[in-house]
Amino acid sequence: MSQAVYLIAYLAIIVFISAVIKRIVHYIRSPLHVRWEIYPVAHDSKRASYGGGYLEEVDWWKKERNVSLIGELKVMIPEILFLKTVWENNRPLWYITYPFHLGLYLTIAFFALLIIGAIAQLSGVAAGPKVPLLMSTVMALTNLIGPVGFILAIIGAAGLIYKRLTNPGLRNYSTFSHFFNLILFIVTMGIAILTWLFIDPTFILARAFIVNLISFNISQINSSLFLLQVLLAVLTIAYIPLTHMSHFFMKYFLYHDIRWGDEPNINTPETDKKIGVVLNYPVSWSAPHIAGHGKETWAEVATFNPVAEPETGKEKVDE
């Protein structure tokens, strides 16, 4: 059974990484899209504070754009850490969804600390009678952050289930997937708490499991509860990027490439090249103002006037 759990853990990690890569590659490989930005655009350092952009300037194409990473961070950090948009636009939901998200963040931090501890253990830093201060801090933080994260996630997930069941505005849009996801988190985090309480209060087993995973040392897992916890944890990790919850990393593209995608096509030969590609895509739309004129590509269709006046010598058709 232990061997199977290790195998599932490795598979889950592979599924997680593959799914994340697949989504990102799919996005990056998608064709050029038109600009569709929404202001305020955070990286406009001079004007983001009031929602302005470079189009406020006469001859804007002759002027340097003010693209500021700090401007983006000023929006993204509170957005990621505190869900600022929900706070500003949906306060009743924030009180529930924020504990849930904070719980997940802390759980991620817990995993990171476990991995750091495991690596330290493997490298001998954390071995022996005298553990360095830094490592004892890591371990203490692991012991603190893990349980707090589990509890917050459970509270948040339970609150979200309640909200989705009782709020008519949310009930209409809540599907099996929503409830399944939230219950999965409650069960996974619940088992994690039970394991912490009764089996592994300082996460020694958990860290040892990570050590074994890293060193490909398939050793026996003696506790059924711990085994169940590992199974649930890795399955949840694998499952997340297969669902809409992959917004946790895809949000980067939705913000940076779409919402803030204000880069003009000035001195950008790469964009011109892409425009050349998409304009040569075939068009198969069937409406009479598009089809039936012998025009096949976007370039041909877009430069054809189906109702041009006779003096231009072009065809005129009824709509």
Range 224-253, binding another protein (CB under 8 A):
244, 246-247, 250-251, 253
DSSP state of 12: H
183 scored as a contact of another protein (CB under 8 A)? no
What are the beta bridge partners of residue 297? Answer: 282
Binding of another protein by 36 (CB under 8 A): yes
Contact region with another protein (CB under 8 A), list: 29-37, 147-155, 189-197, 203-211: 29-37
Residues 65-104 that bind another protein (CB under 8 A): 79, 83, 85-86, 88-90, 93, 97
Q: How far is the CB of 298 from another protein (least distance, A)?
A: 7
Phi-psi region of 92 (alpha: psi -120 to 50; beta: other; left: phi over 0): alpha
Distance CA 246, CA 25 (A): 14
Contact 35, 274 (CB under 8 A): no
Instruction: Decide if 210 contacts 203 (C-beta within 8 A).
Output: no
**Looking only at residues 256 through 275 of this chain, which bind another protein when binding is defined by CB under 8 A?**
257-259, 262, 264-265, 271-272, 274-275
Under 8 Å between Cβ of 157 and 104: no
Question: CB of residue 42 vs another protein: minimum separation in angstroms?
Answer: 11
With CB under 8 A as the contact rule, the residue among 44, 188, 207, 241 that binds another protein is 44
Are 44 and 263 in contact, with CB atoms under 8 Å apart? no
Phi, psi (5° rounding) for residue 179? -70, -40
Tell me the closest approach of the beta carbon of residue 274 to another protein, in angstroms: 8
Please, which residue, 193 or 299, has the CB nearer to another protein?
A: 299
What is the rounded CA–CA span in Å between residue 170 and residue 182? 14
Residue 147 in tokens? 């349980």
Among 34, 70, 129, 216, binds another protein (CB under 8 A): 34
Binding-site member from 2, 8, 40, 225 for another protein (CB under 8 A): 40
CB 232 within 8 A of CB 8: no
**270: which 2 tokens?**
């790469």
With contacts defined by CB under 8 A, name the span among 7-15, 107-115, 125-133, 301-309 that binds another protein. Answer: 301-309
Site for another protein in 110-149 (CB under 8 A): none
DSSP string, 37-79: --SS-TTBTTTGGGT--GGGSTTGGGS---B-HHHHHHHHHHH
Q: Between residues 198 and 281, which has the closer beta carbon with respect to another protein?
A: 281
- Asked if 166 is part of the footprint of another protein (rule: CB under 8 A), the reply reads no
What whole-number distance in Å separates Cα of residue 85 and Cα of residue 39? 14
Q: For another protein, give the closer residue by CB, 128 or 310.
A: 310
Inter-residue contact 19 to 246 (CB < 8 Å): yes
Residue 18 engages another protein in binding (rule: CB under 8 A) = no
How near is the Cβ of 161 to another protein at its closest, in Å?
Answer: 14
Answer yes or no whether residue 313 interacts with another protein by CB under 8 A: no
Q: How far is the CB of 10 from another protein (least distance, A)?
A: 25
> For another protein, which is the closer residue by CB, 123 or 284?
284
Among 3, 136, 177, 202, binds another protein (CB under 8 A): 177
**3-class SS at 316?**
strand
Nearest to 142 by CA among 162, 164, 125, 120: 120
- Min dist CB 178 to another protein, Å, is 7
Per CB under 8 A, contacts with another protein among 271-300 are 271-272, 274-276, 278-279, 281-290, 298-299
